[in-house]
């Protein structure tokens, strides 16, 4: 079992380096969609896909508009910078709060999937 390598990037601490490296392609796609938009257009952006499967077993209403705004938050504030994303009033996610779903990854390490309002 290997230990996670945690790094700090753009003032965001404790980022799992392996996770970031594995997601470079996805983050590049997000950048290509959002980089040319104005601030107003960014906050109106919608996911460019149909038939997104609904999120199950969450304690709040969550759907494609919230997914889009979470991605906008990652674009504007940094990947995994949950505290700053939650504080961004422009995305209208402050009323969204999800109980932590703690599970073990394939490597046996505990992973937290958590969305908290600030």
What pLDDT, in 10s, does the model give residues 70-88? 899 999 988 778 888 888 8
Angstrom distance (rounded) from CA 86 to CA 107: 29
Q: Give the pLDDT mean for 61-74.
A: 88
**What are residue 115's DSSP bridge partners?**
98
DSSP helix/strand/coil, 12: strand
**63 part of a folded domain:** yes
* pTM to 2 decimal places: 0.61
Residue 16 lies in a domain: yes
The predicted model gives 102-111 an average pLDDT of 39
Task: Name the domain count of the chain.
Answer: 1
Among the ranges given (44-53, 73-82, 92-101), the one the predictor scored with the smallest mean pLDDT:
92-101
For residue 74, being part of any structural domain is answered with yes
Q: Is residue 68 part of a domain?
A: yes
In a domain, 1, yes or no: no
| Structural domain boundaries, residue 85 | 6-115
CATH number reported for the structural domain that contains residue 25 in this entry: 1.10.10.60
């Amino acid at each position: 079992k290997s230990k996670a390598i945690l790094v700090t990037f753009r003032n965001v601490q404790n980022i799992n380096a392996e996770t970031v490296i594995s997601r470079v392609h996805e983050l590049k796609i997000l950048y290509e969609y959002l980089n040319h938009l104005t601030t107003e257009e960014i906050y109106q952006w919608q996911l460019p896909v149909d038939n997104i499967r609904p999120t199950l077993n969450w304690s709040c209403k969550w759907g494609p508009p919230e997914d889009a705004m979470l991605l906008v938050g990652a674009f504007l504030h940094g990947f995994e910078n949950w505290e700053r994303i939650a504080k961004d009033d422009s995305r209208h996610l402050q009323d969204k709060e999800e109980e932590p779903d703690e599970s073990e990854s394939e490597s046996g390490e505990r992973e937290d999937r958590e969305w908290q309002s600030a």
